[in-house]
Structure 1
Amino acid sequence: MHAPSPRLLKVGGVTPFTATDFPGLLAAVVFVQGCPWRCGYCHNTHLQPRTKAGAVAWGKVMSFLQRRAGLIDAVVFSGGEPTSDPALSHAMRDVRTLGFKVGLHSAGTHARRFERVLPLVDWVGFDVKAPFDDYERVTRVRESGTAARRSLEALLMSGVDYECRTTVHPRLLPEADLLRMARALSQMGVKRYVLQVFRQQGSKDEALNAVAMSGYPSEDCIAQVCGWFPRFDVRRS
């Protein structure tokens, strides 16, 4: 039986099987409790607080993953925000001992911890919220763009495979700001970028849900952004 790490990850839930959370691989997703930001479009608000013990014991997660060996290829740490948890690196090492690749969904809220776990990660889905000088509009937390930019710079320097993506909503990102943000990402060296159009399903923000999404972003806006990245996509659901 695998001995759990001395520092135990606070897990909010587990998805046993997914074909969409790690490109090209079958994976399980471990949802980590905790996030310091309060994005209005968040679909996992129940994972923002950190409870004393977590909803699922890490030892039980490891036992489950042992039984999945040979059935899945990878384990993705999502949230919440996985870098909120100081036990993240220990959990990633546990998972690697079982032979799984490791994926990470992160917005880079904790830059130092994000940098430390990069050597343990095979792929990162990195959420970019807004232009870095205007992050508070989305996260509702001052100076949040500073941590996000530092984390993204570390990711681009690391050589780890990644995808940058932004959830877009006309109230949070008017097209002028969307274009300014995308151009800045291109200038930083981002090669793989995705726009994820806001969807009401799962959102608890009534103000965002009340805004009509038809025609946003415009075809002209999408065409401009597409021209700045070697690999670009738009996801509408």
Structure 2
Amino acid sequence: MPTPNPNCQASALRIGGLQPLTTLDYPDHLACVVFCQGCAWQCRYCHNPELIPRTPDPGLPWRDVLDLLDRRQGLLQAVVFSGGEATLQPALPAAMRAVRERGFKVGLHTAGIRPGSLNRVLPYCDWVGMDVKALEEDCQLITGVRGSGRANWASLELLLASGVDHECRTTVHWGLFDCQQVQRLGERLAGAGVRRFVVQLARAGRMLDARLGEVGRPAEVEGVWRYLGQLFEGFEVREVA
């Protein structure tokens, strides 16, 4: 029986957008980003809310992604699958295989919404950016979904056990977090074996829950950053556009 063509299987991937060049989404690599449609969570600070629903429109054809990769051989080093939540799409493993066959590394941005879905694509990943939403017991406040904390942290365990290169990052909106929660989260991540941790600071603008608005940073936050810097081999604070 002939081996299935991964490009043919990947054509079912529902793509909501394509960023042709980035230096930010895969550490130390020039990459493009494939934004996949669909997400099962409703994170209140989500800055890509248009990608949450899977629309009837199949979006950008997979062929367009392959054409970009063919044109940028020798320039691009990696392809990052983001979302939405890319791991919810059955076509993702085939898309990752097709990218690897062209000689590119594969990156994944994920929140591990379904641990089993993450586990099936980890063998195709060279690097993962893992969104740890909050402490397990606090995740529902962010996602609006019961049981999301259990799934988020179970996926983190799978990632840590896989040996795949990664960083963990948490988006912090000061209307949803306080400094003590961020500090406890960092301590728990470090205790679990996380070595690289990024705090992404949400800014008011295009968010799913517009009621969050702009909240000033707590006065004691610089002390928290110094403390977290001592817990991890790599720690960084980033602004979310």
TM-score when scaled to structure 1? 0.93
What is aligned with 2:217?
A: 214
Aligned to 1:124: 128
Which residue of structure 1 lines up, in the alignment, with residue 160 of structure 2? Answer: 156
Residues 46-87 of structure 1 deviation map (CA, whole Å, 9 limit, x = unaligned): 001112352111122222222222221110001111111111
CA distance in 2, matches of 1:92, 1:149: 24
Q: Does the aligned pair in 1 maintain the 2:6–2:95 contact within 8 Å?
A: no
What is the aligned length? Answer: 235
Whole-angstrom distance in 2 between the partners of 1:129 and 1:66: 36
Give 2:202's aligned residue: 198
Partner of 1:231: 234
Q: Map of 1:1-237 to 2, 5 A cutoff? A: 4-7=7-10, 8-209=12-213, 211-215=214-218, 218-237=221-240
Note closer, same or farther for the CA distance 1:161–1:23 as it changes in structure 2 (3 Å cut): same
- Where do 5+ consecutive residues of structure 2 fail to align? none
Do 1:170 and 1:216's aligned partners in 2 also have CA atoms closer than 8 Å? no
What is the CA–CA distance in structure 1 between the aligned matches of 2:9 and 2:198, rounded to whole Å? 37
List alignment gaps of at least 5 residues for structure 1. none
Task: Output the CA distance in 1 between the equivalents of 2:26 and 2:32.
Answer: 9
| Secondary structure of 1:135's aligned partner | helix
Structure 1 residues 224 and 202: alpha-carbon distance in aligned structure 2, compared to 1, 3 A threshold: same
Percentage of pairs with the same residue = 46
Query: 1:98-147 CA distances to partner (integer Å, 9 max, x unpaired)?
Result: 11000000011121111111111111111111101221000000001111
Distance in 2 between residues matched to 1:163 and 1:12, nearest whole Å = 24
RMSD (Å), alpha carbons: 1.7
